[in-house]
A = this chain, B = another copy of it.
Amino acid sequence: MGKTRVEAFSDGVIAIIITIMVLELKPKPDTAELAGLKSLLPVFLSYVLSFLYVGIYWNNHHHMFHSTRHVTGGILWANLHLLFWLSLFPFTTAWVGENHHAPMPTAVYGFVLLMAAVAYYILQRAIIAQQGRDSLLAAVVGKDWKGKLSPVLYLAAIPLAFVSSWISDGLFIFVALMWLVPDRRIERVLAKREKE
């Protein structure tokens, strides 16, 4: 089966997730002053972080399906499973935004990040299983140290939120920046294959 509609549907869901998070950013009634903006700062910062994360997921999803040819029923459901956890980002972002530095929302934010990472890993495995160990995706993913380190850091951030939410927030920002650093693996592998 072709992959076009899976990509289109995922694009749609991710586009909606990344956009409806901004609905949380509601101007409080009767505040046309700078103070009103200041009180929205925590909500805004959570929004920026979650926008970054959803952007990273879209980017990686885009790359992953770029090196996928066919999709099976299993891949469709692994993809929906990933979209499910991503769809909880607006909720956790809103909760953290409204209760900045409260341990429970921070821990739940980390838990949903963790589950999304696990879901992404399952999807990646499902695609590689279908494409073969020597497929383009398998070569591109390689050792995947980022994909393996991220869930460990999310997992650490969950209990640490009860020590200090600053540590957890720091870990979330660190992982996001780690993924933002350009990753030339796909382009390198593609260039190498073309040479051979």
This chain's copy number in the assembly: 4
Interface residues contributed by chain A, number (CB under 8 Å): 61
CB-CB < 8 A to A37: which residues of B? 104, 108
- Asked if residues A80 and B62 are in contact (CB atoms below 8 Å), the reply is no
Summarize A's interface: helix, strand, loop or mixed: helix
Chain B: minimal CB distance from A172 (Å): 17
- Residue A29 CB within 8 A of the other chain: yes
Known contacts A12-B15, A16-B20, A18-B87; A26 and B76 CB within 8 A of each other: no
- Asked if residues A76 and B59 are in contact (CB atoms below 8 Å), the reply is yes
Q: How far is the CA of A12 from the CA of B12 in the complex (A)?
A: 6
15 pairs of residues in contact across A and B, judged by CB atoms under 8 Å:
A1-B66, A5-B7, A7-B8, A9-B58, A12-B12, A12-B15, A16-B19, A19-B87, A29-B98, A32-B104, A48-B84, A55-B84, A73-B184, A73-B187, A74-B182
Q: How far is the CA of A155 from the CA of B126 in the complex (A)?
A: 36
Task: Give the interface of A toward B (CB within 8 A).
Answer: 1-2, 5-9, 11-20, 22-23, 25-27, 29, 32-34, 36-37, 48, 51, 55, 58-59, 62, 66, 72-74, 76-77, 80, 83-84, 87-88, 90-91, 94-95, 98-99, 102-105, 108, 180, 182-184, 187
